[in-house]
Amino acid sequence: MKVAFIQRDAYEKIGVHQLLGCLKTHPYIECDLFVKELEPNFYDQIIAFQPDYILYSLLIGEESFMLKSFEQLKLNLPKVKTVLGGPFTLVFPEIIKKTQVDFVIRGDGDHSLPQFLHLCNKGESIKCVPGISFKETNGDIFTNNNIKLTSDLQSLPDPDRDLYYKYNELRTNDTKIFIISRGCPYRCTYCYNAELKSFFDSPYWRMRDDEAVCREIEYVKDNYGLKWVHFQDGTFNANVKWLKSFFVKYKNRNLPPFLCNCRVETIDEEFISFMKDAGCERITFGIQSGNQEIRARVAGRRMSNEQIENAFKLCHEYKIRVGADIIFGWPGETREQAMDTIRLCRQIKASTYHSNVLIPYPGLSLTRDSINKGYMDHEPSLEEISKLTKNKSLVQQDNINLLINMDKLFYYMIKLPWLVIMLKLLLRIPPNRIFNIVKNLHLLKRNLKYNTTGNITYLDLIKSYIKFNWNN
């Protein structure tokens, strides 16, 4: 049996790592992986592989590409079956109605995907597979709502990323991604984690085995090279007790410096000292807004400005580079509240800043609340979200263009306060492509250093940056 994983963009998907590791324990299953951005002959290569099943782990924004790819491949491989997984199949189960999609598996696929393929291989009924949906011969949709999470992550085989590293662009990256947990214990209103928890009775947030994490990093370091470890967990410091034990093993095994995302509430000097000693190179904190009312009432993040300032102060003292994530365009956000963000960022003096305009995704509590309060007139479709450009917002309020421009110019409002009068005048100009290009020019040098897009020259990076921001 041949199974092809496909995806659009040139990066590693953590979930696919684990699924490949699980399928590797079944000798009758032969897997391959195809990345559109890295395959000059994407469809031809898949067709030559002659898969029995084509799998896609769906992230929001990839629906159009996924459907187009499934359709194209079905034309050339009439017997192939398409299988869709990933967290967003929970939120959008109706995607099984698309003619291009044969099967949807909701929930963790660590056990359900091998079970599905095993039953298909034997020609037996698949209705017992947890989370499975498919179209029956009469056109009705069968759904097994017994959706499963993998509670015991320690029982899983090691993730397998070897197929990703057939691509030189991914193999030679100095920075590679890892996780120490699944899920998230927090309930931010603008994040799907809060919604996904409602589908399960068992704990949604789970920690991996610290030995397994170290073993995975060590394998990648020894076999493919590794300068920096990037922990992609949304909240790396959600379990401080687990981390302190992990840091001892991490340091003893001489693993590379690491980057991570943290929340400020549990940050104290003892913890930052542990982080530094273990090899922490950079921490990014999700600030989202410098206004405490916006953070607590709209974003669902109950942290104080004092906690934020203390976390950044400790990072500076211990010489850990520190970044800040910011969002502009909150429903009901005033110009003065947005200026609170500028003022706080001047105080904390982050090494790097990353900002976005809020996207109120369908199915979120923030989106429902925005509709109820008149900031939106409908819940957006996935198609609307996919067509959204950097200069647009789905939030409807009089100052939204100003807030979009603040997203583009806020780095300069922080770093060049002597230009603030001119910058305030620029905020009145309609959002435009020039502002898109100006926004992150300061990050180009850092991006080349950490080289998360492969071995490219500074000139190539600049060309790619301008093209991407001009077209989006």
Please write the tens of the pLDDT for every residue from 300-353: 999 999 999 999 999 999 999 999 999 999 999 999 999 999 999 999 999 999
The string over 285-315, giving b where at least 16 C-beta atoms fall within 10 Å of a residue's C-beta and e elsewhere, is bbbbbbbbebbeebbbbebebebbebbbbbb
Sheet of 103-105: strand order equals 30-35, 2-7, 53-57, 81-85, 103-105, 132-135, 141-143
DSSP string, 263-301: -STT--HHHHHHHHHHTEEEEEEEEE-S-HHIIIIII--
204: pLDDT strictly greater than 60: yes
List the beta strands (DSSP E) in 333-428.
352-357
Structure tokens that stand for 128 in this block: 């017992």
**Contact predicate 199/92, CB 8 Å:** no
Q: What is the DSSP letter of 163?
A: T
- Tell me what pLDDT residue 110 has: 97
- Tell me what pLDDT residue 460 has: 72
Average pLDDT, the chain: 93
CA angle 327, 328, 332 (to 5 degrees): 120
- Tell me what pLDDT residue 160 has: 97
- Tell me what pLDDT residue 469 has: 67
Phi/psi-derived region of residue 196, left when phi > 0, alpha when psi is between -120 and 50, beta in every other case: alpha
Q: Report the percentage of the chain scoring pLDDT > 70.
A: 96
Q: How much is the average pLDDT of 386-410? A: 92
Q: How much is the average pLDDT of 33-54? A: 97
360: pLDDT strictly greater than 80: yes
pLDDT band at 467 (very low <50, low <70, confident <90, very high): confident
- Tell me what pLDDT residue 10 has: 95
**Contact predicate 140/100, CB 8 Å:** no
Give the lowest-confidence range in 260-264, 403-407, 440-444.
440-444
Q: What is the largest CA-CA distance in the chain?
A: 72
- Tell me what pLDDT residue 168 has: 95
**Terminal-to-terminal C-alpha distance of the chain:** 40
- Tell me what pLDDT residue 104 has: 98
Tell me the per-residue pLDDT of 2-15, one tens digit each, with 9 for 90 and over. 999 999 999 999 99
Indicate the helix (H) or strand (E) that contains 64.
Answer: helix 63-76
Q: How much is the average pLDDT of 198-227? A: 94
DSSP H helices in 193-333 = 193-196, 210-224, 240-252, 269-278, 292-293, 305-317
442: pLDDT strictly greater than 60: yes
Q: Which residues pair with 141 in a beta bridge?
A: 135
92: pLDDT strictly greater than 80: yes
Identify the residue with better confidence: 422 or 107. 107
Residues 154, 113: Cα–Cα separation, whole Å? 18
202: pLDDT strictly greater than 90: no
- Tell me what pLDDT residue 56 has: 98
pLDDT band at 135 (very low <50, low <70, confident <90, very high): very high
Closest CA to 65 of 104, 112, 100, 92: 100
450: pLDDT strictly greater than 60: no
221: pLDDT strictly greater than 80: yes
Q: Which residues pair with 55 in a beta bridge?
A: 5, 83
The string over 254-269, giving b where at least 16 C-beta atoms fall within 10 Å of a residue's C-beta and e elsewhere, is ebbebbbbbbbbebee
Chain CA centroid to CA 275, Å: 23
